[in-house]
A = this chain, B = another copy of it.
C-alpha cells in the first residue's frame, strides 16, 4: 500500500459523503451483507485468529521465560538491588514490585484471552451487526423544526461526523462492531489495530470491505504498521474524532499527543456509596457484583464509601467480609484507618486509585454530602451508585453527582453500551463534550441546519418578520 494515512483519510471523507447520499435500504443491505460474510467466512477468521493467538502466546511465554533466566547482567542488577534495599530499608517497594510482576503476568493472560475468537463470538458479532442494521435510520433524522418567518423553515438534522480514527489494542472483535457502527452512522473510518491481532484484523477487514462493495475500500482503511500512531495523531485537519479502545496507558498517551478530539476515558474510578438507609443485602449484592463480575473493567467499583452509621451497627464489617469472601482484597481508606487503627486491612495506595484487579478501597463518609464531595474530588466522572431505600436521598444523589452515569440501587457494571440498549458501543466517554457515557451510533453523529425559503433576505433584519414558531416533528 503506497497510500499515506492522509490520503486514506481524504478518501474516507469523500466515501463517507457518498455513503450519506445512499438510500437507507442500501446502507442497511451493506450491514446485512457484512453479517452474512462474517458467518460464511468463520473458518478463515478463526484460522487467522489462531495464528495471532499462537504468536502472542509464544511472545508471552518468552517474556515469562526471560524473567526466569538469569543473565550475568541481571545478577549484577539483583545484587545492587539487594544492597540498596539493605541500605534504605524499603520492603514496601519490593512487595509492590513483586505484585507488579504478578499483575503483568495476569494482564498478559487477560490480553491473550481477549485476543481469542470463538465460533460463538463470530455469531454474536453477526447478530450485533444485524441489530445495528435494524435500528431506525440515524442520518437525516429531524431533531427540531421551526418556522423562522412566513415561508422560511429551519430544520436541525442529524449528520455523520465524517472521518473517525479508531485505535484499538488486542480485541479483534472490536473491528466488525466499530465498522458496523460507523457504516450505520455514515462515517468514514481509519482503523489502527494492535500488532498482536494483525492476522485477525486483516481478514476481518478484507471480509467487511468486500461485503460493502465498490465503496468499501475507500470507506474503511486498515492502517498498517508503516504509519505509526504518532503520525496518525497529527492529522487533525483530515480526521474529526479519535476513539482509543484500550487500557489507561493507551488512552492517556493519545489524549496527551493529539489535537483531534478524543472520545474515551483514561480512568474508570467508580464509587458505590452505601447510605445510612441502605438495605444491607442489596448493598452487599451490588458491591460484590460491581467488583467481582469483571474486576479489570472500567465500570468496576474501585471504592466503596460507607455511611458512618454503618461502622457502629456492623454494616461496614459485613460488607468487608462479603467482599473478602468473594476473593477481593479490601484496602482501608484514610478515614477508615483513623476510625479502626487496629484493623489489619492494607492501606489504600491513595484516595484516587484504579486497581483494575480484585482489590477495592473501603472508606467511611460522614454523610451523603461528604460522599458526593469525596467522589468529585477523587473520581473520574465515569459511574457512581447510591444504595439506599430513601427515595429522596437517592434523587439528591442522582442530581448532585456530576458523572457520566449515576445509578440508584444497581451495579456499576450496567454502565455499558449493550446493557444500555445501544446495541453496541464504540467506547465509554468521560469527556464532557459531545457524547458522554457509553457511546453507540448516536455518539458518531453531529447535526446540520437545513433552511428552506423562497428568496428571503436579511436586509438588516427588516427583510422578514420573524415568527420563530416551533413545529411538531412527525
**A interface residue numbers (CB < 8 A to B):** 14, 17, 20-21, 140, 146, 148, 152, 154, 159, 161-162, 240-241, 255-256, 259, 261, 279, 281-282, 285-286, 288-290, 293, 376, 394, 398-400, 402-411, 413-415, 419-421, 431-438, 446-461, 463, 466, 468, 470
Contact = CB atoms under 8 A, between A and B. Distances in A.
A457 to B, nearest CB: 4
A470 B135 CA distance: 12
A2 B321 CA distance: 49
B458 A409 contact: no
Nearest to A18: B400
A447 B405 CA distance: 9
29 contacts: A14-B376, A17-B400, A21-B400, A146-B421, A154-B421, A159-B436, A240-B432, A255-B259, A259-B259, A281-B455, A286-B457, A293-B458, A398-B452, A403-B448, A404-B449, A405-B448, A406-B449, A406-B451, A408-B453, A409-B454, A410-B451, A410-B452, A411-B458, A414-B453, A415-B449, A419-B458, A420-B449, A436-B447, A438-B449
B453 A399 contact: no
- Sorted nearest first, the 9 A-B pairs with minimum C-beta distance are A410-B453, A289-B457, A282-B455, A421-B468, A413-B458, A407-B451, A405-B449, A411-B457, A434-B434
A362 B432 CA distance: 42
A14 B161 CA distance: 32
B148 A289 contact: no
A55 B190 CA distance: 53
A450 B148 contact: no
Given A405-B450, A410-B453, A413-B458, 18 more contacts: A17-B402, A140-B399, A146-B420, A154-B421, A241-B432, A261-B261, A285-B455, A288-B457, A293-B459, A394-B452, A398-B452, A406-B449, A406-B450, A415-B449, A421-B468, A433-B434, A435-B447, A436-B447
Given A400-B21, A455-B285, A437 B448 contact: yes
Contacts of A457: 285-286, 288-290, 293, 410-411, 413
Nearest to A415: B449
Contacts of A435: 447
A453 B409 contact: yes
A10 B434 CA distance: 22
A256 B259 CA distance: 8
Taking chain A's interface residues, is the majority helix, strand, or loop, or is none over half, making it mixed? mixed
Contacts of A154: 420-421
B162 A419 contact: no
Counted per complex, copies of this chain come to 2
A278 B400 CA distance: 55
A407 B454 CA distance: 10
A447 B437 contact: yes
A17 B376 contact: yes
Nearest to A240: B432
A281 B293 CA distance: 69
A466 B418 CA distance: 10
A409 B152 CA distance: 9
A421 B148 contact: yes
Contacts of A450: 398, 405-407
Nearest to A411: B457
Contacts of A400: 17, 21
A402 B290 CA distance: 43
Contact of A419 (B159, B448, B466): B466
Nearest to A376: B17
A135 to B, nearest CB: 11
B446 A161 contact: no
Contacts of A420: 146, 148, 154, 449
A429 B398 CA distance: 31
B414 A458 contact: yes
A231 to B, nearest CB: 19
A391 to B, nearest CB: 10
Contacts of A454: 282, 409
Contacts of A434: 433-434, 446
B399 A21 contact: yes
A291 B456 CA distance: 14
Nearest to A288: B457
A127 to B, nearest CB: 14
